[in-house]
Each structure stands twice: as structure tokens, then as C-alpha cells.
Structure 1
Amino acid sequence: MRLTAGPEHAGERLDAVLAEPLGSRTRAARLIAAGSVTVGGRTVAKRHIVTAGEEIAVEDAAIEAEKPPSLDDVIDPDAPVAEYTVAYEDEHLLVVDKPAGVVVHPARGHWQGTLAQALSGTAAGGEDEWRAGIVHRLDKDTSGLLVVAKSDAVHAQLKTALQARDITREYLALVEGRPTARSGTIDAPIGRDRHARTRHSIDTDQPRDARTHFTIEQVLPRYTLLRVTLETGRTHQIRVHLQAIKLPIAGDPEYGREGLLGLERQFLHATTLAFTHPVTGAAVQCVSPLPDDLVAALAAAA
């Protein structure tokens, strides 16, 4: 898809200019972040200010890959329903405890059995009906807590709180080796890896700010259990950042060594979620204990 920016686009951000032709500003931002959009033949950030006459191109393949089928095509009544438990719920929102193996919303290769489909009729809000109510996500094989809205207004408020870093997200991660300090911050931009498009990395042509904080929770002979807090929320952020400081997460098939300690996935669990309720103003804090497979791996590491 190609378009030439007109006078009416001058002074606008790139993601705003592409919002209409791509269906939403959120979708435009995702494609820009993935490096699928060029301006004058070069990749730029979503905040790029457009000038009249600039040539903007979006890869056709990326558009099709990003676009899911309609809900009527995606929702199969005979498909398995994603399992989850509810850690907190009221009329405005719910906090879901997602098991490993469940994809949060439909995407290429995972059209069926997602959390978003299981929450259809309960969750609501946001620009994309195929992931209604979803405020943030977890990787398929990362377990734990995430908050889901039940209306447009609450979804918008939770998104704003997330961007303002007013939602606390803590994880437990078992890593190979040991940090050189009891606590620390990894401040390194992340984007698509220069050499492997399915991976994310600090070695990237599309860097986006990313900060991860960690403290030592438990020291084991060859491993360390870390409590990790996200300041930003980039794809695979914790996995990429810990691998970058030579502390790969145990069992991580993409950024570490698969199968360690009998693990069938990475040892990463979203254990704590805390925020101020956008409607009532009450403090909401949910804690999820380690699931059985991670408890067994931790015992094997002792």
C-alpha cells in the first residue's frame, strides 16, 4: 500500500495519518514498530511528523499478516475454549490468571482457542473487536495475571494508566547464573532483531525504549530466582533483557536453553498485578502463586 502525504497531513504524526487507511491508530503503530512502514524509503518512528509530499509505503504482506479474519470466521463453536481463572472481578473489569499455553488474542497461526475468544460476551472495549477488553498481553507460554476491561471507558482508562506506568506488573523468573548485584535496572531499547525477524533484541534497527527492574528473590546453586518489574512493555521484554545481561530464563526455547529442569516452557510467571481502580478509586492487588510445573522446576534447581 502506497500513499503520498497531502497538505492536510502536514504536521501530523505518522500513526495518525495511517489510522484511517489501516483501520485504527493502534494497528498503524504496530506495523510501524514492526518495521513494515517506510517514509521516503526508510523506517521511522510512529511519532515521525509527516510533511506534504512524502511517500509512505506499507508492506502488503504485513497488512495481511496483521489482519485477523472477522469474528464470525474466527469463532468456531467446536474449537476448544481457553482455560483461565478469575483473580478479581466486578462490573467494570476483571483480572485473569492465564495458564501457560494459552494465546491472549487471535493472531497468525493462532486463530482459535484464545483468551479473547473465551472472554467474548464478558470483555469489551478498544478499537479491535477480535481482542475486545484486552489491555496488555502475556506471551503464550508465560503464565499469570493480566487485567481485562468490560467497557470502552474502562479500557481507555486502564490503557492510560498502563502508559503512565501506574499499573504494577511483577514477575518471577528463574535464570541461569547469578546477577552481580542484589538488584538492578536493565535500560536497553528493544526492537525486531536485525537478523531473525521472529525474535526481538537489543540489536535492532527499530529500537524502542525499554526498562526492566529486578531484585534477587532466592539464590540457588546454579540458578537465581528474580522478582522482575516492568517499567515498559515491549514484546518479549523480560526474556530479551535478561538474555542480554547473560542471565537467560531457564527453559526459554527462544532466548535460552530449552528443556532445563524438566521445563516445557520458560520459567516466567506474572505473579503480582496492582493498580487503582479506574471507576471506584480503590486499590486492587492480585497475587498468583507459581503453577505446579514451575514449583517442580524450582525444587529441581535447589
Structure 2
Amino acid sequence: MEERTFKIDENQEHQRLDKAVALFLDVSRKRVKDLLDDNHIFVNGKSAKASYTTVLNDRITIEIPEDENTEVLPENIPLDIVYEDSDLIVINKPKGMVVHPAPGHYSGTLVNALLYHCKDLSGINGVNRPGIVHRIDKDTSGLLVVCKNDKAHKAISEQLANKTCHRQYVCIVHHPFSHEYGTIHAPIGRSEKDRKKMEVTSKNSKDAITHFTVLKNFREYAYVQCQLETGRTHQIRVHMQYIGHPIAGDPTYGYRKTLETNGQLLHANKLEFIHPTSNEKMTFEIGLGKEFEQVLKELEEME
């Protein structure tokens, strides 16, 4: 059984418990009601009702039973392994691959491939997300680290929380910049109009910081490097849209008239963390995919 915990902040207080939990888990209120009815949600260690009004610093604990009807099976899917040892494995995820099983994607995921390749993966995040410490979107390519045991998982999770695990991305965005670098410090939360989207908002949001450097300006686009200080869902995609430079090819946050691509041109090209056993600083860098390289080449030729 997976356990998720969060603390109520100033943006979440004075809210119904079922709404706060639904936003945190990104599930329906009906799903939260089922968890409450089965006594799987606790406020400060005690059972509570859906109508409970949250108070600042309330500690919400959610027990999430495994979906007994869904078995995640190993699949012989090729993996681009950048590094591997007895504690962890660093993967270059291809564009178009979903990281872990979810409704509509129960096969062909990175987890299905990992289960075939690895004998053991950490179990902290349950059977649907074994070993997964952080995710990248389906149509985002690049580096992510997967943990083979709980010790490594906890260590990398702490580094992510403490901002000592560094993740760098590159992307192609609409419109050239008039400055070389900047920092976007804007909170991100679930959109109230469309639950599948995130947005910069002060309601039910979490602090989000993205640093960016302009690598090259083109006539109508820019090639940009982004450094995550926090790791919110769709963070770079939302932040770049927020400052008027949506990522090219992004079907959710971008323009309808854009470059012809299979999803957003966003690539996790660099990953740094401290190894959980050796305490050695590990740095990995990976080149661009063929589609990304081709688009850059075409933009160069158009100049």
C-alpha cells in the first residue's frame, strides 16, 4: 500500500478536506470519497470527514491501496541505459514513452521495460511506480534516475526535496528573447477550468522556480536551457507559457500554429546527484534526439 503525506499551507487552508486531497493526488472527489469511506485518509493521525475544513499546518496522510485489478507485467522493451549499478539506473527516456502505468497506459511504459530488465526495484511508490523517484512527461525525452532499493530511493528523494539533485533541460520556444537569462518564480497549481492542466495561480498552488538561459535566438523561436529549482508537474511548460514563450509543439500549453512535431520540444539533457552509497557526485549529460536535432538544423538554415 502506497502512503502519501502533505502539509496544509496558506494556499490550502480553509478548504474542504476532500477537495484538498483531490487536488494533491490529482484524482476525482469520488475517488477521495471512497478512500475516506474506507478509512484511508487521516488528519494529524486521526480519521476525518470529507467536510472537514483544513487548518494551516494540518498533516494529511493518505493510504492508497494497490489496484488489485491491474497487474503491471514485465515487457521486453529496449532501454537506453546511460549508467547502472546495484543501487540505481539512469535512463535516457525516448519521446512518446509514458513513465509508469496509469489509466489508458497499462503497457509499453518505462516501468514495464524496467521490470523486464531489473530483478529488483524500490517499492516505496507501490507496484505501479516501482523505482520511480521523479518523472518526465510522455513527450519529453531525456534523463531520469530509477532506484533499485528503498535506501537509494529515500536518498535521491531527499536530494530532490533539498534541491541538491540538479535537473537541466533544453527546449525550443516561440519568440526570440531580448535578454540572455532570467528566473521565473511563480506558483503552480491545478487549473480550476481544466483538471488536466496546470497553471500559474495563487490558489491551491506550490512554489515553483525555473532558471533559464537563452542559448540562441532565431527569427521566430529561441533555443533555451532551463534549470529546475523545484519540480512541479509540467513546470517548464507552464512557466514558459506564463512569460509568453510557450514551448514549440506543446499541444497543451502552446500555440495551435507551431512547428510540426510529435509533442513539445523539451529534453532533459543533464542530471546531477550524489550517489546514495559512494557519496560520489554523479553527472550525466545526453545529446538531443533526432527530431529535436532536425528542427534545430532547419531553424539554423532558415536564418
Counterpart-to-counterpart distance in 2, 1:51 and 1:154: 27
Structure 1 runs not aligned, ≥5 long: 1-22, 59-65
Q: Aligned letter for 1:108?
A: P
Alignment of 1:106 with 2:101, yes or no, is yes
- Residue number in structure 1 paired with 2:245: 247
**For 1:252-279, what per-residue CA distance to the aligned partner results, in whole angstroms no more than 9, with x for missing partners?**
0111035733311100000000111111
- Alpha carbons of 1:25 and 1:40: their partners in 2 closer, same or farther (altered >3 Å)? closer
Match of 1:118 among 95, 113, 120: 113
Alignment of 1:74 with 2:58, yes or no, is no
TM-superposed deviation, 1:39: 3.4
Map 1:1-302 → 2, pairs under 5 A: 23-26=1-4, 29=6, 39=16, 43=20, 50=44, 55-56=49-50, 69-70=67-68, 73-76=70-73, 81-120=76-115, 121-203=119-201, 205-257=203-255, 260-302=258-300
CA RMSD, Structure 1 to Structure 2 (Å): 3.0
Counterpart-to-counterpart distance in 1, 2:47 and 2:273: 44
Q: Does the residue aligned with 1:73 lie in a helix, a strand or coil?
A: coil
**For 1:216-249, what per-residue CA distance to the aligned partner results, in whole angstroms no more than 9, with x for missing partners?**
1122121111110101111100000000000000
Counterpart-to-counterpart distance in 1, 2:89 and 2:269: 16
TM-superposed deviation, 1:287: 0.7
TM-superposed deviation, 1:90: 1.0
Identity %, equivalent residues: 36
Counterpart-to-counterpart distance in 2, 1:273 and 1:281: 16
Q: TM-score, normalised by structure 2?
A: 0.78
Q: Does the residue aligned with 1:148 lie in a helix, a strand or coil?
A: strand
- Residue number in structure 2 paired with 1:16: none
TM-superposed deviation, 1:154: 0.7
Q: Aligned letter for 1:133?
A: G
TM-superposed deviation, 1:55: 3.2
Q: Does the residue aligned with 1:296 lie in a helix, a strand or coil?
A: helix
TM-superposed deviation, 1:84: 2.6
TM-superposed deviation, 1:181: 2.0
Structure 2 runs not aligned, ≥5 long: 25-41, 53-63
Q: Aligned letter for 1:283?
A: K
Q: Aligned letter for 2:134?
A: H
Indicate if the aligned counterparts of 1:83 and 1:115 stay in contact, CA closer than 8 A: no
More helix by share: 1
- Alpha carbons of 1:292 and 1:179: their partners in 2 closer, same or farther (altered >3 Å)? same
Counterpart-to-counterpart distance in 2, 1:259 and 1:132: 38
- Residue number in structure 2 paired with 1:5: none
Aligned length, in residue pairs: 264
Q: Aligned letter for 1:255?
A: Y
Counterpart-to-counterpart distance in 2, 1:110 and 1:195: 24
Counterpart-to-counterpart distance in 2, 1:259 and 1:289: 27
Indicate if the aligned counterparts of 2:249 and 2:263 stay in contact, CA closer than 8 A: yes
- Alpha carbons of 1:157 and 1:141: their partners in 2 closer, same or farther (altered >3 Å)? same
Counterpart-to-counterpart distance in 1, 2:202 and 2:96: 28
Counterpart-to-counterpart distance in 1, 2:273 and 2:236: 20
Counterpart-to-counterpart distance in 2, 1:259 and 1:288: 29
Q: Aligned letter for 2:16?
A: V
